[in-house]
Amino acid sequence: MIILGVQFSCTSHKNKSDEIGAEFPEFALKNFEGKTITSSQIFKANKITLIEFWGTWCNTCVKTMPWLQDLHQRYKGLGLEVVGISVKDVNGKPQAYVKNKNFTYKFLLNGDSLSKKMKISEYPMVYLVDNNEKIILFESVRKHTSKDEIRKKIQEYTNN
């Protein structure tokens, strides 16, 4: 299983979790229904996972979400899971935004401590993670070339 993490703006942090092949940090976060979801539950159940750190306050984040929805629709039956992790948002705001836009991929709340642990300073940030919980790609998706690179990795892992 691979988890995708994408950063929509470039940062130059030197963090172990930024290294290709490094383990994605463990986490346990609540979904919109209040159920706690762990990183292991997500990663082990899929070939590849795309993790996006986002916030309703982040213009680039919300502009990228339709593209993530498209990836979810195209590859969900082939082993891709798309997961949005909200950061720096007021309780209820992410849920209202997602409901209003009819996004159907997975969302988790209050990823601030995980984001801090990973030293993420710019949003959105996207990671691709395999089912062994290893980071296979982290990218800025502000550029079309980054989106193409992410799509290629997804296709590689989903054999599509």
49-58 in b/e burial notation, b at 16+ Cβ within 10 A? bbbbbbbbeb
Confidence of residue 142 (pLDDT cuts 50, 70, 90): low
Average of per-residue pLDDT across 44-59: 95
Q: What is the pTM of this model?
A: 0.86
Percent of the chain with pLDDT over 70: 85
Please tell me the predicted confidence (pLDDT) of residue 7.
43
Residue 12 has pLDDT above 80, yes or no: no
Residue 143 has pLDDT above 60, yes or no: no
Q: Which of 3 and 96 is assigned the larger pLDDT?
A: 96
Give CA angle at 69 (95, 18), nearest 5°: 90
3-state SS, the chain, equals CEEEEECCCCCCCCCHHHCCCCECCCCEEEECCCCEEEHHHHHHCCCEEEEEEECCCCHHHHHHHHHHHHHHHHHHHHCEEEEEEECCCCCCHHHHHHHHHCCCCEEECCCHHHHHHCCCCCCCEEEEEECCCEEEEEECCCCHHHHHHHHHHHHHHHCC
Task: Give the C-alpha separation, 94 to 109, whole Å.
Answer: 8
Average of per-residue pLDDT across 3-22: 53
Please tell me the predicted confidence (pLDDT) of residue 123.
87
Per-residue model confidence as pLDDT tens digits over 60-92: 999 999 999 999 999 999 999 999 999 999 989
Domains of the chain: 2-9+24-158 (3.40.30.10)
Residue 6 has pLDDT above 90, yes or no: no
Residue 4 has pLDDT above 80, yes or no: no
